[in-house]
Every structure is written in structure tokens, then in C-alpha cells.
């Protein structure tokens, strides 16, 4: 890849890393990453991936920016209140790095559109805030064999895992079904420390970049749990479940379905 003088400057700290170099930076510039959710997690993930020079970043979100988002959703601002979140984040990322092609998708992700949305991307990032969507994304990524970097946050705790379909366990290997509606509170009900999605999102972006350059060990087969109050990082091994309903030997789930509406209020 021939870098422009501007790109040599912008990516100099990457290029001099033995693990990245010009070749790794070229891979980064050719990578296509789809981020589902342009909220607490999607903002820092997209921000760092845009800074790193990921060639194509798509953001899927059908919500609009609200004032209550700005405590943690760092790609938005008072200037983009009431603007679609994917569009708002696109403006921020393009201002940071014009090398990056940012695609804003103003759609709610569901069983009807997810396969079409993820098909053309190399890596999928889950930055959503509810279980039905989390399971839907997991199932779709398993079906299309897309690496999935998943993050979740609540209060002072967050978790990250990388799902590599065919190589390691998926979300359903850990919990076959989502918890019943109402059992796990949402950030809206329970709160979240504003910086927490920054920590977890930065870990997700790190996983994405490692996958792109093909260096290091992906966080597959492990759930990394961060406890901000106790300042603990715990890595919990997740075994692959041969009887997993979606990635096991005889999968029961062959089609994508949307879970009942009441889930979506959590």
C-alpha cells in the first residue's frame, strides 16, 4: 500500500509497531466492520476504529440522540440532539478521520434485516442494550460465520467476549435462552457509570483490531468481566456446548425469529 504523507503521519504509531507495520495498516484500511448500536458502546468502538483507519464502518441504530445519552455516548453532542444516532456518530467519525467510509443505517435491527446487514462485513460488533437483540445478533453471526465482538454494561460492571463461529463457543453455549423479561434490569432502570462503556468499548475495539491484523489471541472461549468498583478483571472460560441450540452438532435453531415485544422494553 502506498501511503500518502498525511497517512504516514496519521498512522505512524501503528506503522512502527512490529505487529502492525505497513502491512497491518493496509489490512485495517481494507477492513469492513459493522457496529450494531451507536450508543454507549458503539460510540467508543466506532471512534477508536475510525481513528485507527478502519476503511469501512457501518453503524446501525434507529434511535435519535437525547440529552440523557450524552453522559456516556461520546460521539454525540448537544448539536445532534434529535438527530439519528447512526447519522450523528457518522458526522463525528468523519470529522476525526476522512479516510474512513462511515455508513449510517437508520434501521432497527431485526430478524428480517439482520442477515442482509451483516453479510458484507468482516467483523460484527454488538453494542446493543437488550437480550433479544443480543441473541438475534449471536444467531445471525453463527449462521453466516461472522466473528462477533460482544460487549455489555450495567451499573459498574461490564463484560466482553469474542465469538468466532466454528472455532469457539457462542452466546447460547453459555446461556441457551435469554433471561425472562424483567429479570435483568436495563441501564435505564439501574443506571450505568458513564465511563464504563468507554472501558468496555475500548476493549471491544482492541479485539476488532487484533482480529483485523491477525495478531495476538482473540478473547474467544472467554468472558472478560470488569468490575469497576473493585477494580477487578476476571476472565471466565466458556466451554463450547455440543448441544448448543444454534452452534451445536444438531442445531434446533435454523431460522431467525424476533423475541416477543415485552423483551424490548427492558
CB 72 within 8 A of CB 194: yes
Indicate whether 216 belongs to the interface with other proteins (CB under 8 A): no
Pairing mode of beta strands 148-154, 123-126: parallel
Which residue, 9 or 112, is less far from other proteins as judged by CB? 9
Which residue, 15 or 202, is less far from other proteins as judged by CB? 15
CB of 265 to other proteins, least distance (A): 51
Which residue, 25 or 88, is less far from other proteins as judged by CB? 25
Which residue, 10 or 76, is less far from other proteins as judged by CB? 10
Indicate whether 215 belongs to the interface with other proteins (CB under 8 A): no
Query: What are the distances in angstroms from CA 255 to CA 165, 177, 180, 245?
Result: 16, 15, 21, 11
For other proteins (CB under 8 A), the number of binding residues is 11
Site for other proteins in 9-68 (CB under 8 A): 9, 12-13, 15-16, 18, 21-23
Write the DSSP symbol of residue 262: G
Q: At what angle do helices 85-96 and 42-52 cross, to 10 degrees?
A: 30
Map grid coordinates 457509570 to a residue: 193
CB of 184 to other proteins, least distance (A): 45
Indicate whether 8 belongs to the interface with other proteins (CB under 8 A): yes
Binding site for other proteins (CB under 8 A): 3, 8-9, 12-13, 15-16, 18, 21-23
Amino acid at each position: 500500500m502506498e501511503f500518502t504523507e498525511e497517512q504516514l503521519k496519521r498512522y505512524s504509531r501503528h506503522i512502527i509497531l512490529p505487529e502492525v507495520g505497513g502491512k497491518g495498516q493496509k489490512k485495517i484500511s481494507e477492513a469492513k466492520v459493522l457496529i450494531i448500536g451507536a450508543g454507549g458502546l458503539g460510540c467508543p468502538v466506532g471512534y477508536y476504529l475510525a481513528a485507527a483507519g478502519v476503511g469501512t464502518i457501518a453503524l446501525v441504530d434507529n434511535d435519535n440522540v437525547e440529552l440523557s445519552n450524552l453522559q456516556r455516548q461520546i460521539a454525540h453532542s448537544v448539536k445532534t440532539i434529535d438527530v439519528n444516532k447512526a447519522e450523528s456518530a457518522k458526522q463525528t467519525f468523519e470529522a476525526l478521520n476522512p479516510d474512513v467510509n462511515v455508513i449510517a443505517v437508520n434501521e432497527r435491527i431485526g430478524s428480517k434485516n439482520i442477515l442482509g446487514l451483516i453479510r458484507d462485513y468482516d467483523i460484527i460488533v454488538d453494542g446493543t442494550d437488550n437480550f433479544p437483540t443480543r441473541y438475534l445478533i449471536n444467531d445471525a453471526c453463527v449462521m453466516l460465520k461472522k466473528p462477533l465482538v460482544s460487549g455489555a454494561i450495567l451499573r459498574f460492571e461490564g463484560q466482553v467476549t469474542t465469538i468466532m463461529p466454528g472455532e469457539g463457543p457462542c452466546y447460547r453455549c453459555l446461556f441457551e435462552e435469554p433471561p425472562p423479561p424483567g429479570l435483568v434490569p436495563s441501564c435505564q432502570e439501574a443506571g450505568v457509570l458513564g465511563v464504563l462503556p468507554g472501558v468496555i468499548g475500548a476493549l471491544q475495539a482492541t479485539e476488532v483490531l487484533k482480529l483485523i491484523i491477525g495478531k495476538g489471541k482473540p478473547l474467544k472461549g472467554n468472558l472478560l468481566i470488569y468490575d469497576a468498583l473493585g477494580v477487578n478483571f476476571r476472565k471466565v472460560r466458556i466451554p463450547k456446548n455440543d448441544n448448543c441450540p444454534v452452534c451445536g452438532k444438531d442445531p434446533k435453531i435454523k431460522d431467525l425469529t424476533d423475541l416477543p415485544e415485552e423483551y424490548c422494553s427492558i
